[in-house]
Structure 1
Amino acid sequence: MMRTALATTALLLLFGAAQAQTSTCAASATEKKLAGAAKSSFLKKCETDTCETQAAEKKLAGAAKDSFTKKCVTDAATTTCDAAAKEKKLAGAAKNSFTKKCVTDAGGAVS
């Protein structure tokens, strides 16, 4: 029971961090008036850098750092892509297809 509570808390914290980094990176891209490939590249680098910083703050190294960074980037990409799908008013299979491609293009792993 305690393990489940701790795992849930950790996931909520991670999701909150992913949300914050996504909005910060997106705001920076908008501020710089980036679009298209330049925006995608900027967002990917920004999210990766933010995730690596978080991993360093948690003093993670080796496989734990790699795993954390990969999940963090994927979560950030998923959040961004879900928002884009919502903006485009996509639903069902179209939304799933769009989100999957968007996350893959952003450098995240699709689960």
Structure 2
Amino acid sequence: MEKTRIGDWEVDLMMGGHGGGGLLTLLDRKTRFIRIEPVLSKHADHVADVIIRSLSEIKGQVHTLTMDNGNEFAQHKRVAKALRAKVYFAHPYCAWERGANENTNGLLRQYFPKG
């Protein structure tokens, strides 16, 4: 997906070690604006709630969300409906399809290491 308009988001979950919480990263492809939200668990219901809460104030400007195929994004239909956006999934083992988000997560790992 090209970065031609504001409102196309890459979404990823960056978990800490030992079953603790983590960070949900949401990155706008065009502007590179990032929202970083704390998450308490990888449970799909909780992750969906955090995504909806984070983007609901701009839901008219959210066009697409691109996620990986993790179980934490199983509630993608609820997210799509709440934000009136389309949800896409990157192909397995193709991190470059969400390259900006993966790069951001790598930078964040310097400050929020696993376990």
TM over 0.5: no
Larger radius of gyration: 1
Structure whose residues are more often strand by fraction: 2
Q: What TM bracket, shorter-length normalisation? A: 0.3 to 0.5
TM-score computed with the length of structure 1 as normaliser: 0.35
Structure whose residues are more often helix by fraction: 1
